[in-house]
Amino acid sequence: MERHCLYIATFLLIFHIVQAQNQTGFISVDCGLPSRESLYNSRPSGLTYTSDADLIKSGKTGRIAKEFEPDVDKPIMTLRYFPDGVRNCYNLKVTRDTNYMIRASFFYGNYDGLSANPNFDFYFGPNLWATVSSNDTVEEIIHVTKTTSLQVCLVKTGLSIPYINSLELRPLRKNMYVTQSGSLKYLFRAYLSSSGRSIRYPDDVYDRKWYPVFARNPWKQVTTTLNVNTSTLYDLPQGVMATAVTPLTENATLNITWTLDPPTTQFYSYVHLAELQTLRANDTREFNMTLNGKYSYGPYSPKALKTETIFDVTPGQCDDGACILQLVKTPRSTLPPLLNAVEAFTVINFPQLETNEDDVFGIKNIQDIYKLNRISWQGDPCVPKTFLWDGLNCNDSDISTPPIITSLDLSSSGLIGNITQAIQNLAHLEKLDLSNNNLVGEIPEFLADINSLLVIDLSRNNLSGSVPPSLLQKKGLKLNVEGNPHLLCTTGSCANKEEGGNKKQSTVVPIVASIISILVLIVALVLFFILKKKKSSSYIRASAEPAIMIKNKRFTYSEVMIMTNNFQRILGKGGFGMVYHGFVNGTEQVAVKMISHSSSQGYKQFKAEVELLLRVHHKDLVSLVGYCDEGENLALIYEYMANGDLKEHMSGAHNRFILNWGTRLKIVIESAQGLEYLHDGCKPPMVHRDVKTTNILLNEQFQAKLADFGLSRSFPIEGESHVSTVVAGTIGYLDPEYYRTNRLTEKSDVYSFGIVLLEVITNQHVIDQSREKPHIAEWVGLMLTKGDINNIMDPSLNQDYDSASVWKAVELAMACMNSSSVRRPSMSQVVAELKECLAYENSRGGASRDIDSKSSIEVSLTFGTEVNPTAR
């Protein structure tokens, strides 16, 4: 007996140790809790909560009214509210590349005695997470961290004062709740029970909160006292899986309904099942799952006392936002369907990248070293622009790369001490102003190592020593050191210049040695190569085309066969020939385009594309990995673009999901930037000549890249505005002026891009003979006379877009297609205009702006047995 009791005691001790260990990685913050009361165990969960005092530098502490305290757990009783400043942010240290469940609680509890209704925004880093407009709100997302820091911000949008009661982060397994893109926002989490008891930690090791739901119509409750095997990827609690429901009527379906707002919102659902009843020899429980009447999964039979989770790896959508998930009995089943628990999440995208990690590290070090307690210096330093830190300028023009800090103005900021080395972390800094402070010590040499620095103002400080020679010799740098009485200047290194009539500033004029002009005679040697004719070859090169001279990145035909595994996997087919999937070095995925012997492109276009792509490099152009030029075997080897071309996605051929308006804008911006580089970044400039949706490719992250440069032409003579050339391109995209005159300019690409933009806006064919106006430009022109943007916009978007953004895009597309090329915008102007369109759309808040978690359960989630469709 004593041994038995000792075993039980030892087991309980181990159990409690394991439970305590399960909190490893948990972050549980009681907002507003005084630091002296930090580290307490909340009952009944046993979770350890800490104060938020070290996580935020602003706000005031409060406590809910006493009459509300009996109804809430201790972490909700206190809160922090923010009467000062527009944006106030928490900074949390997290583990990079970790899948976190992040939960924030907002319980007003009449803490201020005003009985007011809240209305403020809640941001996740630089992106809107939710709008808090209810007195009792819980917001939860599942998100994979990209850095070691995480910021959540409360933003005042009107008279309402933002507040927060608790912040909770729970690390999950990496392969739980995986999405194709974006993060998951909690919609509901329910287990089928009439118990009325909610379940969380320690029963749920991840501290998910499970709410009991039982239909108004009577259902049969099924329970078991036996142990259910829940050791699966999702580690569900025993209390959740030991209960289930079945319809009372044997042939009825088991229905779960919920609503989505807006209707186009994408979602993921997770259905958890385990057979709890002991089936007789002749009994069978088998059912299909349908979503809105369409077959989803099955036939399926739950496993006896063993948990299984059914989910779709791709997100779903519901017509008009009304979702009906049905479990439908199959003809061979003798028992009705059974369900234990279900979860649902909407997809929430956080498109705005956070500021460059090194820049953030640098500016926060500067903030700490100089003890800069500016109310605006919270959250992301650069984005959104509305909350740009005072004294900073940033460059966020490239939406595919993190914003960078380009200017730091700390003039008249009361700085004391030396010039901190933390500044060198701002590697993209162009302007530094530390004037009118009390800085001492020498001017550090590391300032000369910041290559981008053009202006340094150190005037009116107490600096000493001499100006480092490396700064004096830095070309193009403007340095102001006026008003530093102890600073020594070498002869001629510090000079005064009159500026603005009266104001004198001391600038350093770099000492430049005399430059001796040396005339170098360049002897041009022209090499003529005579191509040998191939024996009985059905593929003949034009004798006027010299062989490609660049030898790097060249593969043999046998190497091409190896990399494609003897051309095993076909990616696509075009007029040029077949495209195959392959691997270089066994790891790097590539697309191999084999030039067909009968291809109309021929060797001339092949040679043009190889030579262009070997000399131009840009993130928005498909890069050339290599080529094969061996006899009649010609191949182009590109980087692999996993999501195919834009036209496939617009037509729905690639998958069944609709690209939302924000994603479409991002794609056309990146395509436009690729064209901008060809026009303005290449010397000599290049014209693509075949801009169309099939030549815009998308990688795994849906980053767009311009492809197919076989028809591209350059302007070989500096200053030449056009070339005369045989007309080439694709019907429908072809610039009419170029077609009439044979005069090719970069504005021909602008016209074609305007057609692409209309395709993205309308999702219409470029030429459709069934329309009143067959060509898309003429048809849109006709629709514009009616003044209704909805007649033009792709109807599959269900009007889920910012109308100002769409109008601006339509006007831009029409400007691109002006009949006179000189009146068309440049691609630089096009890029700038499209970024404004995206800014309008992003300011709208996105599709998942405000789906309140509680109302999703209490209002939108219903159950019934009234619908009985036939399973497909």
Q: What is the Cα–Cα distance from 230 to 272, expressed in whole angstroms?
A: 10
Q: Residue 511's pLDDT band (boundaries 50, 70, 90)?
A: very low
Q: Residue 311's pLDDT band (boundaries 50, 70, 90)?
A: very high
Does some domain include residue 177?
no
Q: Which H/E stretch holds residue 121?
A: strand 120-124
Q: Both 568 and 671 in a single domain? A: no
Minimal CA–CA distance to 268: which of 320, 348, 345, 197?
345
pLDDT of res. 852: 31
Q: What is the Cα–Cα distance from 36 to 673, expressed in whole angstroms?
A: 55
Residue 492 — left, alpha, or beta (φ > 0 → left; ψ -120 to 50 → alpha)?
A: left
Rg (CA), the chain: 33
Note the residue count of the chain.
872
pLDDT of res. 724: 44
Q: What angle do CA 595, 597, 603 make, to 5 degrees?
A: 60
Question: What does the pLDDT look like over 185-210, one tens digit per residue?
Answer: 999 999 999 888 999 999 999 999 99
Question: What does the pLDDT look like over 750-774, one tens digit per residue?
Answer: 999 999 999 999 999 999 888 888 9
Does some domain include residue 227?
yes
3-state SS string over 273-326? ECECCCCCCCCCECEEEEECCEEEEEEECCCECECEEEECCCCECCHHHEEEEE
pLDDT of res. 578: 84
Q: In terms of DSSP bridges, do strands 136-144 and 99-107 run parallel, antiparallel, or are they unpaired?
A: antiparallel
Could you give the number of structural domains in the chain? 5
Q: Residue 623's pLDDT band (boundaries 50, 70, 90)?
A: confident
Minimal CA–CA distance to 748: which of 761, 760, 733?
733
pLDDT of res. 608: 72
Helices first, then strands: H and E counts in the chain? 15, 48
Does some domain include residue 8?
no
Q: What is the Cα–Cα distance from 489 to 466, expressed in whole angstroms?
A: 6
Residue 109 — left, alpha, or beta (φ > 0 → left; ψ -120 to 50 → alpha)?
A: left
pLDDT of res. 600: 47
What end-to-end distance do the CA atoms of the chain give, in Å? 60
In the block, tokens 């080897």 appear at 637
Residue range of the domain that includes 77: 26-172
pLDDT of res. 183: 96
pLDDT of res. 287: 97
Q: Residue 552's pLDDT band (boundaries 50, 70, 90)?
A: low
Assess contact for 138 and 104: CB atoms under 8 A.
Answer: yes
Q: Which pTM does this prediction carry?
A: 0.58
pLDDT of res. 545: 42
Q: Both 144 and 165 in a single domain? A: yes
Question: What does the pLDDT look like over 773-801, one tens digit per residue?
Answer: 899 999 998 888 776 667 889 988 888 88
Q: What is the mean pLDDT of residues 597-610?
A: 65
| 509, two tokens | 């004029």
Q: Would the pLDDT of 296 be above 80? A: yes
CATH, residue 629: 3.30.200.20
- Domain end marker among 466, 500, 534: 500
Q: Indicate the burial class of 332 (C-beta count within 10 angstroms; 0-12, 13-18, 19 or more).
A: exposed
CA atoms within 13 A on the CB side of 830: 36
| 801, two tokens | 């877009």
Does some domain include residue 654?
yes
pLDDT above 90 covers a percentage of the chain that reads 56
Q: Both 364 and 453 in a single domain? A: yes
- Domain end marker among 141, 172, 203: 172
Q: Which of the given ranges, 329-343, 714-728, 732-746, has the highest pLDDT on average?
A: 329-343
pLDDT of res. 689: 83
Q: What is the Cα–Cα distance from 140 to 350, expressed in whole angstroms?
A: 14
Distance of CA 350 to the CA centre of its chain: 5
Q: Both 208 and 272 in a single domain? A: yes
pLDDT of res. 534: 37
Q: Which of the given ranges, 75-79, 628-632, 841-845, has the highest pLDDT on average?
A: 75-79
> Per the annotation, does 593 bind a ligand?
yes
Q: Would the pLDDT of 527 be above 70? A: no
Q: Both 604 and 653 in a single domain? A: no
Q: Would the pLDDT of 723 be above 60? A: no
Q: What is the Cα–Cα distance from 579 to 598, expressed in whole angstroms?
A: 15
Minimal CA–CA distance to 62: which of 95, 106, 103?
106
Assess contact for 444 and 465: CB atoms under 8 A.
Answer: no
Alpha-carbon dihedral sign for residues 113, 114, 119, 120 = negative
Q: What is the DSSP string of 204-225?
A: STT---BEEE--SS-EEEEE-S
pLDDT of res. 513: 33
Q: Would the pLDDT of 542 be above 90? A: no
| 488, two tokens | 């020594």
Q: Which H/E stretch holds residue 777?
A: helix 776-784
Does some domain include residue 514?
no
The region of weakest confidence among 26-35, 566-575, 855-864 is 855-864
Q: Both 737 and 604 in a single domain? A: no
Q: Both 399 and 470 in a single domain? A: yes
pLDDT above 70 covers a percentage of the chain that reads 82
Q: In terms of DSSP bridges, do strands 438-441 and 416-417 run parallel, antiparallel, or are they unpaired?
A: parallel
Residue type, 817: M
Minimal CA–CA distance to 256: which of 238, 273, 239, 242?
273
Q: What is the Cα–Cα distance from 145 to 151, expressed in whole angstroms?
A: 11
Q: What is the Cα–Cα distance from 860 to 773, expressed in whole angstroms?
A: 45
The region of weakest confidence among 116-125, 699-708, 847-856 is 847-856
Residue type, 852: D
Q: What is the Cα–Cα distance from 387 to 381, expressed in whole angstroms?
A: 8
Q: What is the Cα–Cα distance from 459 to 479, expressed in whole angstroms?
A: 9
Q: Both 812 and 711 in a single domain? A: yes
Q: Both 214 and 341 in a single domain? A: yes
Strands annotated E in 428-576: 431-433, 438-441, 455-457, 462-466, 478-480, 486-488, 495-499, 503-507, 554-555, 570-574
Q: Residue 810's pLDDT band (boundaries 50, 70, 90)?
A: very high
Report H helices in 23-78. Answer: 74-77
Q: Which H/E stretch holds residue 101?
A: strand 99-107
Q: What are phi and psi of 686, to 5 degrees?
A: -120, 145
pLDDT of res. 541: 41
Q: Both 131 and 199 in a single domain? A: no
Question: What does the pLDDT look like over 118-138, one tens digit per residue?
Answer: 999 999 999 999 999 999 999
Q: Would the pLDDT of 481 be above 90? A: yes
Q: What is the mean pLDDT of residues 349-368?
A: 93
3-state helix, strand, coil in the chain (%, to 5): 25, 30, 50
Q: Residue 116's pLDDT band (boundaries 50, 70, 90)?
A: very high
Q: What is the mean pLDDT of residues 818-832?
A: 92
Residues marked active site are found at 690
Assess contact for 482 and 461: CB atoms under 8 A.
Answer: no
User: Which residue did the predictor score with more confidence, 9 or 33?
Assistant: 33
Question: What does the pLDDT look like over 256-283, one tens digit per residue?
Answer: 999 998 999 999 999 999 999 999 999 9
Strands annotated E in 681-823: 686-687, 696-698, 704-706, 713-714, 723-724, 743-744
CATH, residue 414: 3.80.10.10
Minimal CA–CA distance to 758: which of 784, 736, 777, 772?
777
CATH, residue 197: 2.60.120
Which residues are CB-contacts of 755 (< 8 A; sequence separation ≥ 6)? 692, 732, 733, 766, 776, 777, 813, 817
Does some domain include residue 579?
yes
Q: Is 347 helix (H, G, I), strand (E, B) or coil?
A: strand
Q: What is the mean pLDDT of residues 835-864?
A: 51
Within 10 A of 529 (CB to CB), how many other CB atoms are there?
9
- Domain end marker among 140, 172, 204: 172
Q: Residue 728's pLDDT band (boundaries 50, 70, 90)?
A: low
Which residues are CB-contacts of 166 (< 8 A; sequence separation ≥ 6)? 28, 29, 30, 31, 49, 75, 76, 103, 104, 105
pLDDT of res. 215: 67
Q: Both 660 and 612 in a single domain? A: no
pLDDT of res. 617: 78
Q: Which H/E stretch holds residue 417?
A: strand 416-417
Does some domain include residue 663?
yes
Q: What is the Cα–Cα distance from 262 to 426, expressed in whole angstroms?
A: 41
Q: Would the pLDDT of 391 be above 90? A: yes
Q: What is the DSSP string of 591-635?
A: EEEEPPTT-SSHHHHHHHHHHHHTT---TTBPPEEEEEEETTEEE
pLDDT of res. 787: 67
Does some domain include residue 506?
no
CATH, residue 52: 2.60.120.430
Q: What is the Cα–Cα distance from 524 to 375, expressed in whole angstroms?
A: 65
Question: What does the pLDDT look like over 626-673, one tens digit per residue?
Answer: 888 888 888 888 889 888 889 888 866 555 567 889 999 999 999 999
Mean pLDDT of all residues belonging to the chain: 83
Q: Both 373 and 463 in a single domain? A: yes
User: Which residue did the predictor score with more confidence, 338 or 491?
Assistant: 338
List beta partners, residue 213: 192
Q: Would the pLDDT of 70 be above 70? A: yes
Q: Would the pLDDT of 528 be above 60? A: no
Q: What is the mean pLDDT of residues 798-815?
A: 90
